[in-house]
Amino acid sequence: MLKHWTGIISIITLLLIGSTAASAEGQDTDQEVFAFLQEAFQSQLSLGERHHTMKEIDDILNPYFSTEYQKNFLEEHLFNEKEGYITYGTDFPAYYIPFFSYTDETKIVREEGTITVYEFFQSEENMPSLYDDHYEYVKLKKNTSGWEVVEYGFEYEEPDFVKDILSLNENQNETDLEGAKYEPLLTNLYSFGYIFSPFYHHSYAVKAPMIASQLIQEKQHQSFLVAR
């Protein structure tokens, strides 16, 4: 009997590990997305370090930005001089990767084949600023070689996709609260039926300690809540 249960537990463990690995492999972590955006931003800044040919500029920007995005960025910031092409500092950094803090304030929204990274920027009261409170974001799209930045956004009002996220979270919280009301009752009923079910008598010696442990944990949790 012990070997039987050991085999089942081993199979479940392998399935869980495999599922977790597959999920991690199929989705870039927040840090990987942040690192990609920081590299993309550095590629833009490098265009102002010296003059370049258009071929050099294409090679620098291609790994990070779509063709259309590059076109919009260069129209805004590129200067053609005798020595070649160069960018200069600006107070209106449209199409530059925003100055994300890359902290909890930098939010990531994942959808099928796209990632939107955004942050809410507050104006500094003690410092002169060209902008009031606003949102900035960039959208990344999956291509054959990885990700590329395809869209830039600057909005004073809350973007629609942020409103949708907040609304979805509120609905989810309400659903979780409703479910929490019934969870203790369902758990206790399950435990009661689990003990007295005629189909499980042959493995009672294995299940009894598990059930006892569950009941003790629930009792301790309830006592903790009362103490608070």
189-220 pLDDT, tens digit per residue, is: 444 444 444 444 444 454 445 544 554 555 55
Do 153 and 47 lie in one domain? The reply is: yes
Number of domains in the chain: 2
* Same domain assignment for residues 111 and 184: no
Is residue 51 included in any domain, yes or no?
yes
The reply to whether 100 falls in a domain is yes
Give yes or no: residues 45 and 151 share one domain: yes
Q: Which residue, 132, 157, 182, sits at the end of a domain? A: 157
Pair (48, 79) in one structural domain? yes
Look up the domain containing 42 and give its range.
23-157
Give the three-class secondary structure for 86: strand
Checking if the pLDDT of 227 tops 50, the result is no
**Domain harbouring 69, CATH code:** 3.10.450
* Amino acid in the structure at residue 22: A
Reading across the β-sheet that carries 114-121, which strands appear in turn?
A: 107-111, 114-121, 134-143, 146-155
Domain-embedded: residue 18: no
Helix (H, G, I), strand (E, B) or coil at 225: helix
| 169 touches 160 (CB < 8 A) | no
pLDDT at 15 over 90: no
149 shares its domain with 203: no
pLDDT tens digit sequence for 121-177: 998 776 666 788 999 999 999 999 899 999 999 999 999 988 877 666 666 666 566
Residues composing the chain? 228
CB-count exposure of residue 27 (10 Å: 0-12, 13-18, 19+): exposed
- Taking a C-beta distance cutoff of 8 angstroms, is the pair 73, 57 a contact? no
